[in-house]
Homo-oligomer: A and B are copies of this chain.
Amino acid sequence: MKSNSTIIKEYPVTNWTKRYLEIRNHSVEICKPLEIEDYVVQPIVDVSPPKWHLGHTTWFFETFILEPNFPGYQVFDAQYNFVFNSYYETIGARVIRTDRGNLSRPSVSDIYKYREYVDKQMEIFLESEFMTEKIEALLELGLNHEQQHQELLMTDIKYILGHNPLFPAYKNETDLIKIRQENSEMIQFSEGIYEIGFNGNGFCFDNELNRHKVYLNDFEISNQLVTNKEYLEFMNDGGYEDFRHWHAEGWDWVKQNQAKSPLYWHFIDGKWMNYTLNGLQEINLNESVCHINFFEASAFASWKVMRLPTEAEWEVASDYFNWGSRWEWTNSSYLPYPGFKKEAGAVGEYNGKFMVNQMVLRGASEATSIGHSRKTYRNFFQTHLKWQFTGIRLAK
């Protein structure tokens, strides 16, 4: 959470209630196509049950906004702190181990009641005298937190349905085929001092600060993402069998997981099929490759005798290409910017404690909520994970 008092931050929000309800309703909208059973399961540890996302984001507003700031507020259910607290070690003891995927209760219906209760209270609170400017930063954090979980809802729902042997579709629309419009070319940048990091008004996460100078060497970066066609060439050229393109740890990952394609690809009757939110479909060769992890992105770049960009290069260049359909792996580790400071208290756990052994992704994806992307945004994941909507942009 951004809270560096030396930076003046004004939120250009004119109607907090409207903004709050729009964002909150979008989470519910995402879940509309689900069966109740889909809300409950957790196939791998990284994927949370949709009902947990709905409860956890609600718990955030209850715990950090309403309880400390709204006199007389009654918590919906005191037990929910055990269930919906995620990683916040500061908030209460966690006596009973509660694996999210084993919890049939609270039921989906109870969680929707919880949302309604908290949203009603928030509506009252936001129009009350207790909603002061001091709270804006925390409220905005809560809304951005909700938007982050909206993207996770999309990725987790896709994982749950895409790992069911019945391959149920999430929606039944025909996707607009995303065909690459322009020619692929390398954009050139010259050596020198550049600035990166957030500035201006509005919200940013603490990890986007401080804005600071970096020195970059000459570099080139592609104006296009790598396509399924190109990735298939890598696969067909034996990319997954040639250790020379892989980090040592990546090579171990390939062998242990017998990896040989992006996530959701299935070789059926001589054809590569792809599980999409519309169900199982043939690979679209012109689409940007998706669902590859850092090891794969890096090996692909090596096979192309190129490399992934650093996050500074990406940010500097980002005005010169289109981005937003894939989270783009960079070759930068997720580390603090100069002058980064952890906030005291639970919200201080937000970002800083993850700054080890993860790589930065830049951009946004087709699953990112509208209004939740900017060029200074630093997303981050561990190197083996591939269930996000990730892609590759090459540099040299």
A250 contacts partner chain B, Cβ-Cβ < 8 Å = yes
Residues of B within 8 Å of A89, CB to CB, are 243-244, 251
> What 7 A-B pairs come out closest when comparing CB atoms?
A333-B333, A43-B102, A37-B104, A215-B215, A38-B104, A217-B338, A40-B40
20 A-B Cβ contacts within 8 A? A36-B36, A36-B37, A36-B108, A37-B104, A41-B102, A41-B104, A101-B102, A104-B160, A106-B166, A193-B193, A212-B217, A214-B215, A217-B339, A244-B349, A248-B353, A251-B353, A331-B336, A332-B335, A356-B359, A357-B383
Provide the bound-state CA to CA distance between A250 and B338, in Å.
22
> Could you tell me the distance in whole angstroms from the C-beta of A12 to the nearest C-beta in chain B?
29
A277 contacts partner chain B, Cβ-Cβ < 8 Å = no
Residues of B within 8 Å of A104, CB to CB, are 35, 37-41, 160-161, 164
| Cross-chain contact B356 with A294 (CB below 8 angstroms) | yes
Provide the bound-state CA to CA distance between A212 and B214, in Å.
12
Provide the bound-state CA to CA distance between A36 and B104, in Å.
8
A213 contacts partner chain B, Cβ-Cβ < 8 Å = yes
> Could you tell me the distance in whole angstroms from the C-beta of A351 to the nearest C-beta in chain B?
11
> Could you tell me the distance in whole angstroms from the C-beta of A279 to the nearest C-beta in chain B?
12
The residue in chain B whose Cβ has the minimal distance to the Cβ of A359 is B356
The residue in chain B whose Cβ has the minimal distance to the Cβ of A50 is B104
Provide the bound-state CA to CA distance between A335 and B360, in Å.
13
The residue in chain B whose Cβ has the minimal distance to the Cβ of A37 is B104
Give residues 309-356 of A contacting B (CB, 8 Å). 331-333, 335-336, 338-339, 342, 348-349, 353-356
| Cross-chain contact B105 with A168 (CB below 8 angstroms) | yes
Number of interface residues of A (CB under 8 A): 71
| Neighbour of A107 across the interface among B35, B307, B331, CB < 8 A | B35
Count of identical protomers in the assembly: 4
A98 contacts partner chain B, Cβ-Cβ < 8 Å = yes
Give residues 149-180 of A contacting B (CB, 8 Å). 160-161, 163-166, 168
| Cross-chain contact B333 with A42 (CB below 8 angstroms) | no
Provide the bound-state CA to CA distance between A338 and B248, in Å.
21
The residue in chain B whose Cβ has the minimal distance to the Cβ of A79 is B166
Residues of B within 8 Å of A302, CB to CB, are 342
Q: Are A103 and B41 also in contact (CB < 8 A) when A332-B335, A356-B250, A383-B356 are? A: yes
Provide the bound-state CA to CA distance between A106 and B38, in Å.
10
The residue in chain B whose Cβ has the minimal distance to the Cβ of A334 is B333
The residue in chain B whose Cβ has the minimal distance to the Cβ of A384 is B357
A246 contacts partner chain B, Cβ-Cβ < 8 Å = yes
Provide the bound-state CA to CA distance between A83 and B166, in Å.
9
A182 contacts partner chain B, Cβ-Cβ < 8 Å = no
| Cross-chain contact A335 with B339 (CB below 8 angstroms) | no
| Neighbour of A354 across the interface among B99, B217, B248, B349, CB < 8 A | B248
| Neighbour of A333 across the interface among B82, B102, B335, CB < 8 A | B335
The residue in chain B whose Cβ has the minimal distance to the Cβ of A214 is B215
Provide the bound-state CA to CA distance between A251 and B356, in Å.
12
Residues of B within 8 Å of A243, CB to CB, are 89
> Could you tell me the distance in whole angstroms from the C-beta of A347 to the nearest C-beta in chain B?
12
The residue in chain B whose Cβ has the minimal distance to the Cβ of A109 is B35
A249 contacts partner chain B, Cβ-Cβ < 8 Å = yes
